[in-house]
Structure 1
Amino acid sequence: MPVFKIHHITRYEYDRPVKESVNDIRIYPYQGPDQEVLLHELNITTHPEIQTHIDYWGNKNGVFNVLQQHTQLIIENRLLIRTVAPAQLRINFHGSFEQLHQECDNQLQLLELAAPDNISRQAGIIAIVQELHKPGKSVAATVEYCSEYIFKHFKYNKGITNVNTTVDEILQHHAGVCQDFAHLMLQILRTLGIPGRYVSGYICPNKNGMRGEGATHAWVEAWLPGYGWAGIDPTNNVWVTNTHVKLAVGRHFNDCSPVKGTFKGPAKQQLSVFVSVSYEDGQVFEEINNVHLNPHAGEQADAPADKTFAQQQ
């Protein structure tokens, strides 16, 4: 059972003082049977009181305010996590679509997660669905084929997409990063009637190496009949076992954003994100991202400026 040490620092810097910073964070480890939290330390500039609650999707959220003037806001998160999922999953490859529909019947959240978004290029999604969906193929086999299709037909390319990139744009680029591949896979699965949810977290070091390891990451969980939620990572074309640490789930990235917030003040902001993941054998992966934000945010002194950002790689 691997143990991972994760150090995650989110740093906002402002070119002049701001105030009334109100923030919503989803950086608490997801409570589930596949991971154990051995240590969690959270340090925030000015040490504000944090109000926590469980949201609609089962995530632990924290809300805090920094009312006084400040020129930087640092959110430092330290985790020690043991992943207890088996390295080899016993996925149910016999569950049929008929069984899936029976399980979803009258389950509001599953029905919600099985409804595709209304997008302009849905015809492109339907073309993919027609290639993936074969009569008699199980739900799990279809999900696995979907992951393989994205892995083979879409290029992993940093820097061409951002947090606001749509599935329409991903289909146009035929490229993106893990967040994009997760959103694309969800649209395909939901068009097939398979409930799927977006997952944010970390992908941890392993001997073979994977795209995005040592950084924040995104993948998908699909509902398999006779099994339940199963994680699958289209960026790496693998079922999720004990090398992924889960933070939050939702319908899309916006439900899982590590930090959302606003502030008041005529300031421009800069954001950097540092992530370090240490494996129990001493191997360490580190990454620093300078995240692009709206350069004009906060130019009106009394207008709240948004500082939601994406970290997914």
Structure 2
Amino acid sequence: MAVFKIIHTTKYQYNWPIKESINEIRLFPHNFENQEVLQHQLLITSNPIVEVTKDFYGNNVGNFNILEPHKEMIIESRMIVKVNHSLKIPEIDTIKVQDLDVEKEKNSYLLRLCYPENILQQKKITSYLKKINATEIPIIEIAQKCSEYIYKNYTYTKGITNIETTLDEILVHKKGVCQDFAHLLLQFLRTAGIPSRYVSGYVCPNSTGLRGEGATHAWVEFYTPKQGWLGIDPTNNIWAMDNHVKLSVGRDFNDCSPVKGTFKGYAKQTLSVSVSIGYEDGRQFEEVTDVKLKKLSEEVQRQLDLIEYQIMVQQRQQQQQQ
């Protein structure tokens, strides 16, 4: 058992004032058998009203608007969470892929999580599944072997991928971060016919030095009728344990994005995310990440260039008048 105090801060900054910012957040830690939320608080710029609902996957989702012009938006999620994954390694389970057919027929939720993406490099996925004889071994063994394969053959490298990086690119370059490896493991498991979902959360630092620790993290859960949803972390090739704090689940990152939204106005934006994790003994760990955003469209870039030019002209005119 472990208790963590986590502060997750998301900061958007704009070079010109924007308005009517409309946002959707999934920053509410899960309450479930192995994780108890002792305290949770949201602090948001302008203190807007946050309407909370549940999505298809059972996540709490918050929606809020900031209508007045602003050059900065900060969302701070503060939580105290107690985690107790009593089973670090799942029990022996002989369930095979074909044994899941009845479960999938009865449950459309499971069936929805069985479809892999259509990718150009799919032969690499099917070839490895054939190599390990995935149709004949238990699904837990499939998950273990695929996680180990990713861990041993793909290099954990920050800064070379973003939310737009495709599975084909990851399969070719064999480099990425936890989000990429989670998506890759999902492709393996879904190709095999195993219901699997993306998990967004945190992996808290420990003495062994886990990869991706101290920041937002991603791993995978797959379903077995005997034990329910089992978490496995391909970035570290371990089962989800006391260091893993779960925020949300979904088909992929898009279903679990901690913050997403839109706004009115033309402005360049920057995004930084910091995660601070405190322990019961007083230790503190913090990591700040500058997030790569989508490239601006040509039209938006032209408008921004025009605005900057107009402001430059106005400033010169004011200087001449003085």
Measure the CA separation in 1 of the matches of 2:31 and 2:118.
Answer: 32
1:204–1:244 contact (8 Å) kept in structure 2: yes
Matches for 1:31-110 after TM superposition, within 5 Å: 31-86=31-86, 88-110=88-110
> Deviation string for 1:26-57 (max 9, x for gaps)?
00012321111111111000000001100001
Measure the CA separation in 2 of the matches of 1:221 and 1:192.
Answer: 14
Please name the residue that 1:6 is paired with. 6
- State whether structure 2 residue 256 is matched by structure 1 residue 256: yes
- State whether structure 2 residue 177 is matched by structure 1 residue 183: no
Matches for 1:124-139 after TM superposition, within 5 Å: 124-134=124-134, 136-139=136-139
Matches for 1:188-199 after TM superposition, within 5 Å: 188-199=188-199
Measure the CA separation in 1 of the matches of 2:221 and 2:84.
Answer: 17
Measure the CA separation in 1 of the matches of 2:63 and 2:134.
Answer: 46
> Deviation string for 1:214-271 (max 9, x for gaps)?
1110000011231111000000000102110000100010000000100111211111
Larger deviation, residues 161-170 vs 286-295? 286-295
Q: 1:16 to 1:134 in 2, by over 3 A?
A: closer
- State the Cα distance separating 1:60 from its structure 2 match: 0.3
Please name the residue that 1:283 is paired with. 283
The count of aligned residue pairs is 301
Corresponding letter in the other structure for 1:74: I
SS where residue 272 of structure 1 aligns? strand
Corresponding letter in the other structure for 1:217: H
- State the Cα distance separating 1:295 from its structure 2 match: 6.0
Q: Which runs of 5+ in 2 are unaligned?
A: 305-322
Measure the CA separation in 1 of the matches of 2:52 and 2:232.
Answer: 29
> Deviation string for 1:127-147 (max 9, x for gaps)?
121123356421111111111
Measure the CA separation in 2 of the matches of 1:28 and 1:214.
Answer: 17
- State the Cα distance separating 1:296 from its structure 2 match: 3.7
Measure the CA separation in 1 of the matches of 2:204 and 2:95.
Answer: 30
> Deviation string for 1:116-172 (max 9, x for gaps)?
111111111111211233564211111111111111111111111111111111101
Please name the residue that 1:223 is paired with. 223
Corresponding letter in the other structure for 2:126: I
TM-score (norm. length: structure 1): 0.92
Please name the residue that 1:304 is paired with. none
Please name the residue that 1:22 is paired with. 22
Measure the CA separation in 2 of the matches of 1:99 and 1:294.
Answer: 42
Corresponding letter in the other structure for 1:261: G
Please name the residue that 2:212 is paired with. 212
Measure the CA separation in 1 of the matches of 2:137 and 2:266.
Answer: 57
Say which one has the larger Rg.
2
1:249–1:256 contact (8 Å) kept in structure 2: yes
Please name the residue that 1:160 is paired with. 160
> Deviation string for 1:161-217 (max 9, x for gaps)?
111111111101111110000000000100000010000000012221200111110
Measure the CA separation in 1 of the matches of 2:45 and 2:197.
Answer: 32
Q: Which runs of 5+ in 1 are unaligned?
A: 302-313
Corresponding letter in the other structure for 2:76: E
- State whether structure 2 residue 265 is matched by structure 1 residue 265: yes
2:13–2:271 contact (8 Å) kept in structure 1: yes
> Identity across aligned pairs (percent)?
51
Larger deviation, residues 23-32 vs 127-136? 127-136
SS where residue 114 of structure 1 aligns? coil
Corresponding letter in the other structure for 2:130: Q
Measure the CA separation in 1 of the matches of 2:162 and 2:296.
Answer: 18
1:92–1:224 contact (8 Å) kept in structure 2: no
Corresponding letter in the other structure for 1:17: P
- State the Cα distance separating 1:112 from its structure 2 match: 1.1
Measure the CA separation in 1 of the matches of 2:284 and 2:166.
Answer: 33
- State whether structure 2 residue 181 is matched by structure 1 residue 150: no
TM-score (norm. length: structure 2): 0.90
SS where residue 16 of structure 1 aligns? strand
Measure the CA separation in 2 of the matches of 1:282 and 1:133.
Answer: 48
> Deviation string for 1:2-33 (max 9, x for gaps)?
00010111111111111000000000012321
Bigger proportion of residues as helix: 2
